[in-house]
Amino acid sequence: MRFNDRIDAGRQLAVRLATYAGRADVVVLALPRGGVPVAYEVAEQLRVPLDVFLVRKLGVPGHQELAMGAISEGGVEVLSEDLIRDLGIPRTLVQQTAVRERLELDRRDQLFRGGRPLVPVRGHLVILIDDGLATGSTMEAAVIALRRLQPSRIVVAVPVGARDTCDRLGRMADEVVCLQRPEPFQAVGLWYQQFAQTTDEEVRQLLARAGRTEGTPKSGPAAKSA
């Protein structure tokens, strides 16, 4: 079964997450850009605050899908030292990659939030959302980085994901909600009828509708206590 688009996927995912609806300690964080339309629908249905969680994978030069680490907002850097050593990647190249991705991270921070801080997550239950999981390297980095911000619980939620990736993330997060774990998996986009790239402007519009671009969480019981 395929999803019509990210909106459809988000609405279906919200049904599975209904137990978290209206809770004052819950926030939804999306991995941009593709995770934002999915997360927006979830946050709307659950009546909880929405924000983006900015994380950038550090791809191995020439093999960008293979992650040698990641960086996230808050200055967090996670490196796969064993992989870097085994592939003989020079430290200077790792640093150059990190600098380039940090610039993109800063660009997105200004574009999506105008430099405003992340919605409060310490002591909150965080639902971390993307539009799907293939290798899962970016989501793994997000979970590791988010742990350092001390949420009470991390729930990874996606419409579709590779079975082994979901299982691996299940050992890192407190809970993984994955609507479909097809075998063989191949690619996230194959499980959507419409899978156009989400643009920066679409992300900005969705965050504006959720109330984050004005620096205030959306209305509702969760927003009042966040």
Band (130; pLDDT cuts 50, 70, 90): very high
Helical axes 163-170 vs 137-147, angle rounded to 10°: 10
Residue numbers of the domain that contains 64 = 57-112
pTM for the model stands at 0.85
Closest CA to 12 of 180, 127, 147, 171: 180
Does the structure show a pLDDT above 80 at 35?
Answer: yes
Residue 47 shares a structural domain with residue 62: no
Residue 135 shares a structural domain with residue 211: yes
Residue 173 shares a structural domain with residue 187: yes
Buried b vs exposed e over 176-209: b needs ≥16 C-beta within 10 Å?
bbbbbbeeebeebeebbeebeebeeebbbebbee
Residue 129 shares a structural domain with residue 198: yes
Does the structure show a pLDDT above 50 at 209?
Answer: yes
How high is the pLDDT of residue 112?
A: 93
Residue 105 shares a structural domain with residue 126: no
Domain count for the chain: 2
Does the structure show a pLDDT above 90 at 122?
Answer: yes
Residue 84 shares a structural domain with residue 134: no
How high is the pLDDT of residue 141?
A: 85
Residue 79 shares a structural domain with residue 175: no
Closest CA to 189 of 128, 131, 130: 131
Does the structure show a pLDDT above 70 at 214?
Answer: no
Band (136; pLDDT cuts 50, 70, 90): confident
Does the structure show a pLDDT above 80 at 115?
Answer: no
- Asked if residue 144 belongs to a domain, the reply is yes
- Asked if residue 35 belongs to a domain, the reply is yes
Residue 213 shares a structural domain with residue 142: yes
Residue 177 shares a structural domain with residue 143: yes
- Asked if residue 23 belongs to a domain, the reply is yes
Residue 126 shares a structural domain with residue 194: yes
Does the structure show a pLDDT above 80 at 218?
Answer: no
The alpha helices in the chain, defined as continuous H runs, are 6-16, 35-46, 81-87, 91-113, 137-147, 163-170, 200-210, 221-225
Residue 39 shares a structural domain with residue 125: yes
- Asked if residue 192 belongs to a domain, the reply is yes
Domain of 187, CATH number, reads: 3.40.50.2020
Band (224; pLDDT cuts 50, 70, 90): very low
Residue 128 shares a structural domain with residue 145: yes
- Asked if residue 226 belongs to a domain, the reply is no
- Asked if residue 68 belongs to a domain, the reply is yes
- Asked if residue 204 belongs to a domain, the reply is yes
- Asked if residue 188 belongs to a domain, the reply is yes
Closest CA to 114 of 182, 214, 20: 214
How high is the pLDDT of residue 78?
A: 80
How high is the pLDDT of residue 33?
A: 93
Does the structure show a pLDDT above 70 at 56?
Answer: yes
Once rounded to an integer, what is the mean pLDDT over residues 90-116? 91
Domain of 93, CATH number, reads: 3.30.1310
If residue 126 lies in a helix (H) or strand (E), which one and from where to where?
strand 125-129
If residue 71 lies in a helix (H) or strand (E), which one and from where to where?
strand 63-72
Once rounded to an integer, what is the mean pLDDT over residues 61-80? 82
